[in-house]
A and B are shown apart, each in its own frame.
Chain A
Amino acid sequence: MKPSKSTGILGYGVYIPVYRIKGEEIARVWGRSKAAIPIQEKSVPGLDEDSITFAVEASKNAIQRAGINPEEIEAVYVGSESPPYAVKPTATVVAEALGISPRLIAIDMEFACRAGTTAMQSIMGLVASSMIKYGLAIGTDTAQGRPRDELEYTAAAGAAAFIIAPHSSENIAYIEGSYSYVTDTTDFWRRDGEVYPRHAYRFTGEPAYFHHIYEAAVGLMEELGLKSSDFDYAVFHQPNVKFPVRIAKRLGFPMEKIKDGLLSNIIGNTYAASSMIGLAAVLDVAKPGERILMVSFGSGAGSDAFSIVVQDAIEEKRRLAPLVRDYIEKRKYIDYAVYARYRSKIKTR
């Protein structure tokens, strides 16, 4: 699934909110054993934040790195499963806040944790066909887990944005190709009007996460004639720590190649942003010429795989916006009571 004309990444940016809650603190409230905590801590949005404000900041950082006038962006695709409005697009607010509109293709996309990477793919097509020059693809989520549920430990919040451009030495990386693998697999869902999602527990693993990521990764490598040893880094969707580590092993990637992009232990599962923030974290450290595999996963279910090669421009553009590490280090711990307030779990009337 490779466009006839090559595209690249001109700029990238992320956002991670400042608040964190430790897995231990959630476990304390529900009397769960410390040994059963899936991750160390997760990010939590503040009271005045949502997936729109996240998207604005991540995109602002991406535009800063790209060094273009926002008006030159001709498409904004936003992938999220937590839009603040059920009806009323996120893309329009983001575009207007950043000075991108009104001559613009703008749309919101939903496919659980995969919508952000599908936004990237769609924009690649628009750019490769010369329908537009620059497009902005965003993955943004403020995920909610039902109190006491397994997901409460990991459902986190974050955003990532990528500006896709025609192939050029200005780009920080070029995209060699992508590959998608999609089936009707109901491992995780949320019905209309429900606040919290449900999941089929163990079914989320083998037939869902592992199968789709594996097939997408192998499909991409076959089409591009590459093998896992050709990649310097691999980034996978990270709903916890266990899953991405296991799929990496199955695909033949040592821990060394996944550690830079594996952030779920310290920020949680940022849903549509998860693999995209992982990619950004790799771009924060990668050297020109290095090749990165990124594979997302969205329940329902599907995966998008990308092969990305870093270019020289990374060296000068990296520092033009905050690094993933900057957002990770800027953190304030909250207890479960404040967390419950921030996530609107306390009724005041």
Chain B
Amino acid sequence: MGISAPSVPRVWRERIIKYRLLGSKCADCGKISYPPRKACPRCGSTNLVEISLPKRGKVLSYTVIRTPPRGYLKYSPYIIALIELENGARILAQLTDVDPDEVKSGMVVEAVFRRYREQGEDGIIEYGIKFRPPIT
């Protein structure tokens, strides 16, 4: 909390991962991670491949952020959810287009490209994947 905004080069380096929801899969034990890792958090293997993660899943649990870190005040309150994707991978992501009192564990959500934050009025705008109740 209170951490300053990531640098322009860092946002640039991470853009594809965030824009397209890319993760890593351990070629030895099958563990899927998001964001992608260099070493497997389960077995320590460095034999990891980058994969495109499924764009649908369900909410396992969630929390409402009412005291957000810098740069996110505009969106407060917002919801961070633990989402189980269709391939079983679990990721943390923001929910959007849904009010805190409408969220339920087990609800189906789909990936959507949205603004993460603005680095002030004159700074860069960060984008990436969030999740919302499906359109159809």
- On A, residues with C-beta under 8 Å from B are 18, 46-50, 52-53, 56-57, 60, 84-85, 93, 96-97, 99, 322, 326-327, 330, 332
Let me know if A48 and B115 touch, CB within 8 A.
yes
Known: A53-B115, A96-B15, A97-B113. A47 touches B74 (CB 8 A): yes
CB–CB B113/A56 < 8 A: yes
CB atoms of B16 and A326 under 8 A apart: no
Contact yes or no, B135 A330, CB < 8 A: yes
Chain A residues with CB under 8 A of B62? none
Which residue on A lies nearest to B102, using beta carbons?
A332
Q: Are A53 and B113 in contact (CB under 8 A)?
A: yes
Bound-state CA distance A151–B15 (Å) is 36
Which A residue's beta carbon lies closest to that of B76? A47
- B residues within 8 A CB of A330? 135
Is A57 a contact partner of B112 (Cβ separation < 8 A)?
yes
- Contact between chains at A85 and B125 (CB < 8 Å): yes
25 contacts between A and B (CB under 8 A): A46-B96, A46-B97, A47-B74, A47-B75, A47-B115, A48-B96, A50-B115, A50-B125, A52-B127, A53-B127, A56-B113, A57-B112, A57-B113, A84-B125, A85-B125, A93-B127, A96-B16, A97-B19, A97-B20, A97-B113, A97-B127, A99-B20, A322-B135, A327-B135, A330-B135
Residues on A with C-beta less than 8 A from B112 are: 53, 57
The 8 Å CB contact of B115, one of A49, A322, A327, A332, is A49
By the criterion CB–CB under 8 Å, are B130 and A48 in contact? yes
- For B, the interface residue count at a CB cutoff of 8 angstroms equals 18
Bound Cα distance A9, B135 (Å): 24
In angstroms, how far is the closest chain A Cβ from the Cβ of B121? 10
CA distance A18 to B99 in the complex (A): 12
Residues 1-25 of chain B, each 1 if its beta carbon lies under 8 Å from chain A, else 0: 0000000000000011001100000
Cβ-defined contact, B20 with A48, below 8 A: no
Chain A nearest Cβ from B123, distance in angstroms: 11
Give the chain B neighbours of A47 by CB distance below 8 A: 74-75, 115
- Tell me if B38 is interfacial: C-beta within 8 Å of chain A: no
Question: Does B114 make an interface contact (CB < 8 A)?
Answer: yes
Q: Which residues of B contact A327 (CB under 8 A)?
A: 135
* Interfacial chain B residues near A18, Cβ < 8 Å: 97
Interface members, chain B 38-74 (any A CB < 8 Å): 74
Chain A residues whose C-beta falls within 8 Å of the C-beta of B16 in the assembled complex: 96
Q: How far is the CA of A327 from the CA of B19 in the complex (A)?
A: 22
Q: What 0/1 readout, one digit per residue, does chain B (96-136) give for beta carbons within 8 Å of chain A? A: 11000000000000001111100000000101001000011
Q: Which residue of chain B lies nearest to A56 when distances are taken between CB atoms in the complex? A: B113
What residues of A have a CB within 8 angstroms of the CB of B19 in the complex?
A: 96-97
